[in-house]
Structure 1
Amino acid sequence: MTLALMVGARADDLTGTLKKVKETDTITLGYRETSVPFSYLDGNQKPIGFSIDLCGQVVEAVKKKLGMPDLKVAYNPVNSATRLPLVANGTVDLECGSTANQLARQKQVAFSVSTFVAQFKWLTRTDSGIAAPDDLKGKTVAVTSGTNTSQFLNKLNQEEGLKLTISQGKDHAESFLLVDTGRASAFMEDDILLAGLKANAKDPSRFKILDKSYSADPYALMFRRDDPAFKALVDDTLVGLMKSGAFAKLYAKWFESPIPPRELNLDFPMSEKLKELIKSPSDKANS
């Protein structure tokens, strides 16, 4: 009886996400379907990827914290448009995708320490005749709806007078398809996501990524605001992985080794900026 009362008291002391997870016996992870290699579906339609693995480590920490070794893990698909509201309204407890940490987004959700640093680039077809961004002036280009890339491209279009017609895909796969089918001359997105889409195309040689790059926001895991206990657990887990070397091993697994479903190697070495963030973890947004 005494033990039962002690366990009950600990449960009563919980708040936020940990309290919800304890009461429902389930933690819900949000995943993307086509954000290779962060979060995507394998040949069996199972969510896999770098961010999924990081979230898996957080789940293990939650199990230990709550004394729930048999905690259930549910998966909920999200896309660029739905990810923030689904986290904010409690449907998703932890989003494991390719989401950039931005000050504007922090008004709705919270972020972990940074897990990746990307750059915006253009992807086009090798037969497009496009060699530089200036070649895109006056053409139709693709971007994914609801992304920070979309915000950046609209600003770039206005500031540089590119006179672009911007077509928005509902997800990265649809944006890529716009280029593949010739309905758009190029697709702007984070360099690593473009590399993943290109590598997994039926014929990767049909596509190229332009050299020109633009600074982008750091990626992080996303969860509800005003939940310091859960944020501390998530951050402590990630920082622990960084300090132990496990984070670097996971990076090598997904960015520098053959990955499912086609066992292609993205051959995407860790950037100097990410190496710096591993040495000195930070949850700061660029702007």
Structure 2
Amino acid sequence: MKKLRLSIASVAIGLLALSGCGQGGTPDAPAEGDGAQAEAPEYTVNDSADFKDSKTWKAAKDAGELKVGVKYDQPGLGNVKAGSEQPEGFDIEIAKMVAAQLGFSPDQIKYTETVSANREPFLQQGNIDMVVATYTINDERKKVVDFAGPYYVAGQDLLVAADSDIAGPDDLAGKKVCSVDGSTPAQNIEEKYKKAELVAYDTYSKCVTDLQSGSVDAVTTDDAILRGYAKQYEGEFKVVGQPFTEEPYGVGLPKGDDAMREAVNDALQKGMDDGDWKKAFEYSLGSADDVEMPKIDRY
């Protein structure tokens, strides 16, 4: 899995062009890179899809739309650029790929911004049918939601000022470290690096604003996301480059809908087998030639 994590981190930096700050000091969505981008994938819709044993699928089919929770502020993964209303990134492509196998076309997907703290409540309350939002699979979350996947694995790292002497998580004692409330990276800091002072917001862009102003000493989340911000603010920040976890990203689903979980797992596996996963990756993150796809965990 390390091979996948490092590949994602290295290609994510090529996605973003240097840009300034938005109003109020909030970082703008990254501009599109100057390099050639892979052709936008098209996913064949499975018109014969029938998963009536799934309560979630049946309700979505009856409504004519699949409600998907995604991030809006994570470059290369789930992001809405300035002036746009449509999210884009690898998570979005995974959502389209899965939706197609479930019988939904792209225009039948309804995206909802889903921050780390509200992913479980949104699924439990029926606000969304699935979450594709850099959602780390872990045993604690499995108590309240189900997961399909993983569809890739990342690693937690640190974003710091370019002249910072922080070289890894062991240097965080007495430092202010920013992450997103309810996220796995925030939990890791609280549980494993207790001498650090955690600052938590609802989005990573707010953490980056604090890092710019010097209000915090580091931002922590998955390395692919951090490298996107480092490229966006080239010369201001650097990624420490010492990942200290592995984070398997899964598709979050309502608890107990086994038929839906199996259908999504099958959709992910099909995409890996027929090349759609690779197309989604290369369109969003760059070359997948050296990327090792993760193994589906059918628990």
Q: 1:71 to 1:164 in 2, by over 3 A?
A: closer
Deviations 1:162-192 (A, max 9, x none): x222111221111122211100011111111
Equivalent positions of 1:128-207 (< 5 A) are: 128-158=164-194, 163-200=195-232, 203-207=233-237
* C-alpha distance in structure 1 between counterparts of 2:65 and 2:161, whole Å: 44
* C-alpha distance in structure 1 between counterparts of 2:230 and 2:275, whole Å: 29
* C-alpha distance in structure 1 between counterparts of 2:141 and 2:277, whole Å: 25
The TM-score with structure 2 as length reference comes to 0.76
Unaligned 5+ residue runs, structure 2?
1-48
Q: In the TM superposition, what is the alpha-carbon distance from 1:245 to its structure 2 partner?
A: 2.2
* Code of the aligned partner of 2:138: Q
Q: Answer yes or no: is the 8 Å Cα contact 1:130–1:136 preserved in 2.
A: yes
* C-alpha distance in structure 1 between counterparts of 2:204 and 2:67, whole Å: 23
Q: 1:205 to 1:21 in 2, by over 3 A?
A: same
Q: Answer yes or no: is the 8 Å Cα contact 2:65–2:110 preserved in 1.
A: yes
Kindly indicate whether residue 85 of structure 2 is the aligned counterpart of residue 45 of structure 1: yes
Equivalent positions of 1:235-254 (< 5 A) are: 235-254=265-284
3-state SS in 2 of match to 1:99? strand
Query: Paired residue for 1:103, among 134, 139, 160?
Result: 139
Q: 1:250 to 1:77 in 2, by over 3 A?
A: same
Q: 1:142 to 1:94 in 2, by over 3 A?
A: same
Q: In the TM superposition, what is the alpha-carbon distance from 1:221 to its structure 2 partner?
A: 1.1
Equivalent positions of 1:89-100 (< 5 A) are: 89-100=125-136
* Code of the aligned partner of 2:270: G
Q: Answer yes or no: is the 8 Å Cα contact 1:96–1:221 preserved in 2.
A: yes
* Code of the aligned partner of 1:227: D
Q: In the TM superposition, what is the alpha-carbon distance from 1:231 to its structure 2 partner?
A: 1.4
Q: Highest Rg: 1 or 2?
A: 1
3-state SS in 1 of match to 2:134? coil
Equivalent positions of 1:233-272 (< 5 A) are: 233-256=263-286
Larger RCO, structure (CA 8 Å, separation 6 or more): 2
3-state SS in 2 of match to 1:204? coil
Correspondence for 1:6: none
Correspondence for 1:22: 61
Correspondence for 1:126: 162
* Code of the aligned partner of 2:271: L
Q: 1:269 to 1:103 in 2, by over 3 A?
A: farther
Q: Answer yes or no: is the 8 Å Cα contact 1:63–1:71 preserved in 2.
A: no
3-state SS in 2 of match to 1:214? coil
Q: 1:78 to 1:269 in 2, by over 3 A?
A: farther
* C-alpha distance in structure 2 between counterparts of 1:227 and 1:240, whole Å: 20
* Code of the aligned partner of 2:148: S
Q: Answer yes or no: is the 8 Å Cα contact 2:51–2:263 preserved in 1.
A: no
The TM-score with structure 1 as length reference comes to 0.79
* Code of the aligned partner of 1:92: I
Q: Answer yes or no: is the 8 Å Cα contact 2:150–2:248 preserved in 1.
A: yes
Q: In the TM superposition, what is the alpha-carbon distance from 1:14 to its structure 2 partner?
A: 4.3
Deviations 1:246-279 (A, max 9, x none): 212221222226xxxxxxxxxx9855xxx162xx
* C-alpha distance in structure 1 between counterparts of 2:265 and 2:167, whole Å: 41
Q: In the TM superposition, what is the alpha-carbon distance from 1:134 to its structure 2 partner?
A: 4.3
Q: 1:232 to 1:133 in 2, by over 3 A?
A: closer
* C-alpha distance in structure 1 between counterparts of 2:106 and 2:135, whole Å: 29
Question: How many percent identity over aligned positions?
Answer: 22
* C-alpha distance in structure 2 between counterparts of 1:12 and 1:97, whole Å: 24
Correspondence for 1:5: none
